[in-house]
Amino acid sequence: MITPHFGLRTSAIIIAVALQSLAPLAQADVYQDVGKLIKQGQFSQALEKTDQFLATIPKDPQARFMKGLILTELNRTAEAIVVFTKLTEEFPESPEPYNNLAVIYAQQKQYDKAREALETAIRTHPSYATAHENLGDIYAHMASQAYDKALQIDSSNASAQTKLAMIRDMMTSSRPTSARPAGKPVATATAAAQPAAKPEHVAAATKPTPATVASVAAVATDTAANTDTGEIGKTVTAWAAAWARKDVKAYLAFYASNFETPNGESRANWEGERDKRIAGKPGSIEVSVENLKVVMNGTDRATVRFHQNYKAASLKSSGPKTLTMVKQDGKWMIKQEQAGK
């Protein structure tokens, strides 16, 4: 299986417009054999078989493309870049080599190069969905870097905290997709644009009946509740992100003015202890939140339950946590924090 970077998808087949006919049966057998070895994770054997084939037909684009995939999986990225780059030069109308170059560049954190490669892939094949999806992931990662830089300059920037948390949550929840199996080529021709359907006649608005008014009121109430639930989820995610960054100032800012300390100690003593356990802890910290559920208790109070995963150099824990949250000055804040519930 080809493992893309944070959700980027590789292309496991090449669209070689120069190939006007199907490959001979012997070649097709080689493609199938190599594809089977790749699926089984036998990359060294797959590379050996591909090289044997290319020794007899060195210009075969399908085999060269498969070699690029195998080299990527073997972490021989410099060689893979050479293979895919040559394919883009010889088959500039095929988007797959550009896409796979972008995956490698993203793994190397060369996001500008990855973006350029994907934009080229899209120009050559505007309907190539994989490249569009990967480009979105690249923009998300670049946004994450920008928000992180903004927080390094101003750690109290709540807007940047929320946006960074949303981006990281999206990237964490996005699971990498395995490469498509080699096989049937994707058609290069895009469908002609169809004229927009003529809009149907819209009935004239009628005076709302009492029942209709009641329904609208109920929908408005539900919408407000959904908005609060979404804001609470973002707040909890941003709180965990500040903790993981060891940004104590931003972390403590999520606690309400009337926060109930766990053991009844003073707020100052509790904050001092948290500072020691977060900023004073050597190495990095990882904090993630899963299966978050919000129960609204009126318009300004909520109970939040989730599974928390914590990992540091000297401690690793995982378990349920409950937060009681209240709205203060238009923001959702933590009033009580209980582990194990």
Locus of tokens 């766990």? 262
pLDDT band at 5 (very low <50, low <70, confident <90, very high): very low
pLDDT for 192:
28
Q: What is the pLDDT of residues 14-52, one digit of tens each?
A: 333 333 333 454 566 788 888 889 888 899 999 999 999
Q: Are 50 and 66 in contact (CB under 8 A)?
A: yes
Of the two residues 135 and 314, the one the predictor is more confident about is 135
Residue that finishes a domain, picked among 133, 156, 173: 173
Same domain as 253, residue 130: no
Token pair for 55: 């020794």
Q: What is the pLDDT of residues 185-234, one digit of tens each?
A: 333 222 223 333 333 333 333 333 334 333 333 433 344 455 778 889 88
The answer to the question of residue 195 being in a domain is no
The answer to the question of residue 319 being in a domain is yes
Mean pLDDT of 321-330: 93
Cβ of 248: how many Cβ atoms within 10 Å?
A: 19
pLDDT of 291 over the 60 cut: yes
CA pair distance 55, 129, nearest whole angstrom: 34
pLDDT for 171:
63
Token pair for 234: 């973002």
CA pair distance 85, 59, nearest whole angstrom: 14
pLDDT for 257:
94
Q: Which of left, alpha, beta for 246 (phi over 0: left; psi -120 to 50: alpha)?
A: left
Looking up residue 94, the CATH number of its domain turns out to be 1.25.40.10
Residue that finishes a domain, picked among 132, 155, 173: 173
pLDDT for 78:
95
Stated as kind and residue range, the H or E segment containing 338 is strand 331-339
Q: pTM for this structure?
A: 0.47
- As beta bridge partners, residue 337 has 323
Same domain as 252, residue 167: no
Structural domain total, the chain: 2
Same domain as 271, residue 135: no
Token pair for 198: 């003529």
Token pair for 279: 């900023």
pLDDT for 197:
35
pLDDT band at 161 (very low <50, low <70, confident <90, very high): confident
Same domain as 258, residue 334: yes
- As beta bridge partners, residue 304 has 294, 323
Please, which residues have CB within 8 angstroms of residue 153's CB and are 6 or more apart in sequence?
none
Residue that finishes a domain, picked among 153, 173, 193: 173
Which whole-number Å values give the CA distances from 48 to 33, 44, 52, 57, 211, in the listed order? 12, 6, 6, 14, 73
pLDDT for 157:
85
Cβ of 21: how many Cβ atoms within 10 Å?
A: 5
Judged by DSSP in three states, 294 sits in strand
Judged by DSSP in three states, 258 sits in coil
Which whole-number Å values give the CA distances from 117 to 88, 149, 332, in the listed order? 10, 25, 42
Please name which of 230, 128, 268 lies closest in space to residue 185, comparing C-alpha atoms. Answer: 128
The answer to the question of residue 215 being in a domain is no
The answer to the question of residue 261 being in a domain is yes
Which whole-number Å values give the CA distances from 210 to 112, 214, 216, 223, 242, in the listed order? 57, 6, 10, 20, 48
The answer to the question of residue 125 being in a domain is yes
Q: Residue 321's domain spans which residues?
A: 229-339
**E-only strand ranges, 206-330:** 286-296, 301-311, 316-328
State how far Cα 151 lies from the chain centre. Answer: 21
Task: Give the range among 145-154, 181-190, 245-254, 280-289 with minimum mean pLDDT.
Answer: 181-190
Judged by DSSP in three states, 251 sits in helix
Locus of tokens 């401690």? 315
CA pair distance 194, 202, nearest whole angstrom: 23
Q: What is the pLDDT of residues 60-92, one digit of tens each?
A: 898 999 999 999 999 999 999 999 999 999 999
pLDDT for 27:
65
φ, ψ at 57 (rounded to 5°) = -130, 80
Rg (CA), the chain: 27
